[in-house]
Structure 1
Amino acid sequence: MSAVPVTVRTVTVRTGTVRTVTVWAELRRRPLGFLWSAWPLRVWVFLLTGTLQGTAVLVLFAVLLFVGVGLSVVGIGLPVLAGTAVLGVPFGALERRRLLLVEPVPLADPHGSLPGAGAAVRLRSRLRERATWRELAYLLVQAVLFTASGLGFVALFGFSLLLSAAPVFVWAVSPDTVMLIPGQPISGPLAALPGTAAGLLGLVVCAYTGALLTGAQVWTAQLLLAARDEDLSGRVTELTRSRARLVDAFEAERRRIERDLHDGAQQQLVALSMTLGLAELELRGREPAAAELVTRARGEARRALEQLRTLVRGIHPQVLTDHGLPAAVAELALRHPVPVTVDIDLPHRLPGPVETAAYFTVTEALTNAAKHSGADEVDVAARLEDGKLVLLVTDNGRGGADPAAGAGLQGLADRVAILRGRLIVTSPVGGPTRLRVEVPCSG
């Protein structure tokens, strides 16, 4: 017998836990081969672009800070300072993209989406998030510390390139104007080869030094720019609440439709059937042909009323609202074509969402048993254990049910998952099929 759990798919997200820095790992794995790989070029591009970006951000931050402080005396500097505080948000998003030059796994965005929100709402939301202040801290570290080290690296890298190309300069211009050592002109291209050797040595130093600087910047970015558990847990909580609100709205709409049909169309059909009955009595002795037509119309109205009542019960049974889960399942069992044994013993009424989820789980299970399993007996049992509803639906059919084959059980699994419960289907070939639902009743 094999159990097939039906659960909502989950996505693994990289959080703010500091991971292994790829460039450092590559440098340790093959120190000499590192020079002949694409890593030195990637490191150099990363550091050069970071230096340019850090310089521009430092200037922009200083200007905004100066303007905000200067205008605060007239009361309009606070919005500028608030904008300066959230400057790290777009900078962090750009930096997470730039890190892909040296890190294959992208960092998760710590911010939740705010669709349709205005600028003021976005600003307030971002100022309340811890990730915003971590990104601002990274902006300052990048603009000051990494930009200063980047400028030193750029100077060393540029000087090494010039030394490596010394013979070309000597050949292209007059040898007397090119000097590796002040006051000592170079006589020819061959005499500039020591400069080339020094330049190549400088590029080797740049490769290893650049790897160390890049690794330090990546490590800092992992610490400050990646989503942390508290960021992701808040977003998961909000998503769960959003899904719960959607389910509640859907249930409210179902109940409104059920009420409108019950109090509107159903009552009109009852009145129509009574009117046709009176017309039948009036015509029976005088117009037999017309009376027969009225009788037929009355029968069709009665059948339409029965279909409407069945539809209303399928939308949301009134007995579930009035009397709870045991009475609703008992009524469902009486109308089912397959004999159903109901054993539901609950000490009190359950929360509305729990009762609704359990009822429609039983409805789906009984429908599947009647249509697909070939069962001639179904058992429904429910108990309250440690504040959790445990519902079991078992049929003696042929088994082999595949929860992934249809949307019915998957939809039930999604509904149960919103309530922090789980739905498990066990259906080996040859039967029996057993459906187990566990839902906490704690709100």
Structure 2
Amino acid sequence: MFADGTGVPNVAVWDAVRQRPLRFLASWWPWRCWAYLISGTLFGFTVLLALAVLLFVGLGLSVLGVGLLLLAVAAVLGIPVGAVERRRLKWIDPTPLPDPHGSLAGAGAPAWLRSRLRERATWRELGYAAALATVCTAVGVGFVALLGLSLLLTAVPLVVWAVAPDRVMLGPGRAVSGPMAALPATLLGLVGLIVCAYAGALLAGTQVRAAWFLLAARDEDLRSRVVELTRSRARLVDAFEAERRRIERDLHDGAQQQLVALTMTLGLAELELRGDHTPAAELVSRARGEARHALDQLRDLVRGIHPQVLTDHGLTAAVAEVALRNPMPVTVDIDLPHRLPAAVESMAYFTVTEALTNAAKHSGASQVAVVGRIETDRFILLITDDGRGGADAAAGAGLRGLADRLAIQRGRLIVSSPLGGPTQLRVEVPCSA
């Protein structure tokens, strides 16, 4: 389909003319081209009027400020024109024309307008709208005139027979005395229709090429969309990290301190009731134990959200601490020349904790090895256990969640877990994530 190597597909109507030039005349292609050109002429004239009104009125009212809004509307007029043209192109070319614009669902009118005015595709569409309103409309008027004249000449014998079979004036000094005498006009009209068939194919194909050149998505549009998605993803990560710090701070400075105060108060009450074997003393002692248990659980929760050792001493120390608390032996070999970015450290830490939890619950492993290195600006983390294997990233919510979180930072998770083991998780995260 893209035989010319330009990224523009071959025009279907031109292929039809090249492959079967005579059969083309008897196909539906000429009718489709004529309908496309006639509707394009009407549409182009409408666009011309809209552009003229917006520009003249906008320039006239620009001193009042309202005109600037009209000029901005004129600048984005190519967007709906391009949308209509992408639909009209399906009449003569089956290849869908991709939309170069990204989705702005939920954006207000000012944000939508600012975003669209910054996109190059908007200005290319405005250029197409201007070309459609001027060049294509002018050519279309000429084509419609030729087509109408050819149809009229073809129908001259019928007109002569219906209006005045004896004598009809076709022009100054040109009269025919019957339908048979008008047959040369019919022959000329048929020649004109044949010319219109091939000329319509040429003009329609040329407009298809122009539409693909100006209305299709280009590499820079896709690159800018990828950049915007990357920035949006980074903002989401930063927002999540800020919210995580807020929750951790509230738990540490609020609920945790209150539980500490409650434990101390219950301890003082227990001292006052020491030696007293009443039910109240037993209740105070039990309440103090439950308060301690709740405080320990809260500390574990805070540590699970984001351990302080990770913030203070980095990934190696944090993973070593997790390994000491793990019920099975864990070998840690993380050699880093410098501290990783905070987002990468947090992602690697929680990947290790999730992997160790899964290994302890499901793998039946006797030992786990954690290895971390930096290779060509990417952090590589390998977590290997000698368990029974059979881990499936598609079936387990934990591994699937890890893969989703890694994707936010342009990382990836590779799971190798044949039946019988061993199981290895390979995590790759860009250090610039």
TM-score (norm 2): 0.87
Alignment of 1:18-417 (within 5 A): 18-68=8-58, 80-114=70-104, 122-166=112-156, 168-176=158-166, 183-188=174-179, 196=186, 198-417=188-407
Shift of 1:413: 3.0
Quick check: 1:180–1:186 contact (8 Å CA) kept in 2?
no
Paired residue total: 427
Structure 1 window deviating more from structure 2 (47-56 vs 147-156): it is 147-156
User: For the residues of structure 2 that align with 1:404 and 1:162, how far apart are their CA atoms?
Assistant: 69
Question: Is 2:121–2:215's contact at 8 Å kept on the other side of the alignment?
Answer: yes
* Alpha-carbon spacing, 1:80–1:272, altered in 2? closer, same or farther (3 Å): closer
* CA spacing shift, 1:165–1:320, aligned 2, 3 Å: same
Query: What RMSD over aligned residues (CA atoms) do the two structures have, in Å?
Result: 3.0
Contact 2:344–2:429 (CA<8 Å) still a contact in 1? Answer: yes
The DSSP-based 3-state class of the residue aligned with 2:415 is strand
CA distance in 2, matches of 1:137, 1:185: 49
CA distance in 2, matches of 1:136, 1:250: 39
2:422 is aligned to 432
**Cα gap change, 1:290 to 1:121, in 2 (>3 Å):** closer
Deviation at 1:150, TM superposition (A): 1.2
- Give the CA deviation at 1:330: 1.5
Closer, same or farther: CA 81–261 of 1 in aligned 2, 3 Å: closer
The whole-number CA distance in structure 2 between the counterparts of 1:222 and 1:388 is: 39
2:175 counterpart letter in structure 1: Q
Distance 1:410 1:180 in 2: 81
User: Structure 1 residues 79, 311: closer, same or farther in 2, change over 3 A?
Assistant: closer
CA distance in structure 2 between the aligned counterparts of 1:33 and 1:431, rounded to whole angstroms: 66
**Distance 1:283-1:73 versus aligned 2 partners, 3 A rule:** closer
Q: Is the 8 A contact 2:125 2:215 kept in 1?
A: yes
Distance change >3 Å, CA 37–CA 340, structure 1 → 2: farther
Cα offset for 1:170? 4.3
Give 2:311's aligned amino acid. Answer: T
Tell me, yes or no, if the aligned pair for 2:167 and 2:178 is still in contact at 8 Å. no
Q: Is the 8 A contact 2:365 2:386 kept in 1?
A: yes
Residues 1:303 and 1:196: Cα distance change in structure 2 (over 3 Å):
farther
Could you tell which deviates more after superposition, 67-76 or 133-142?
A: 67-76
The Cα of 1:249 is off from its aligned counterpart by: 0.7
TM-score by length of 1: 0.85
Deviation, structure 1 residue 436: 1.2
For the residue of structure 2 that corresponds to 1:412, the secondary structure is helix
The runs of 5 or more residues in structure 1 that have no matched partner are 1-15
* Distance verdict in 2 for CA 1:326–1:197, change over 3 Å: same
Mapped partners of 2:305, 2:88: distance in 1:
52
* Stretch deviating more after TM superposition (38-47 or 24-33): 24-33
Q: Cα gap change, 1:121/1:301 in structure 2, threshold over 3 Å: closer, same or farther? A: closer
Aligned mates of 1:364, 1:32 — CA distance in 2 = 70
Whole-angstrom CA distance in 2 between matches of 1:441 and 1:195: 79
Distance 1:137 1:208 in 2: 27
Q: CA-to-partner distance for each residue in 1:294-328, whole Å, 9 max, x for gaps?
A: 33333322332232222222222222112211121
Task: Please state whether the residue corresponding to 2:394 is helix, strand or coil.
Answer: helix
Q: CA deviation at 1:48?
A: 0.9
Partner of 2:431: 441
Task: Give the structure 1 partner of residue 409 of structure 2.
Answer: 419
| Cα distance per residue 1:264-319 (max 9 Å; x no partner) | 22222233233333333433422343333333333322332232222222222222
Change (3 A) 1:44 1:405: farther
Q: 1:72: Cα distance to partner?
A: 6.3
Structure 2 residue ranges without an equivalent (≥5): 1-5
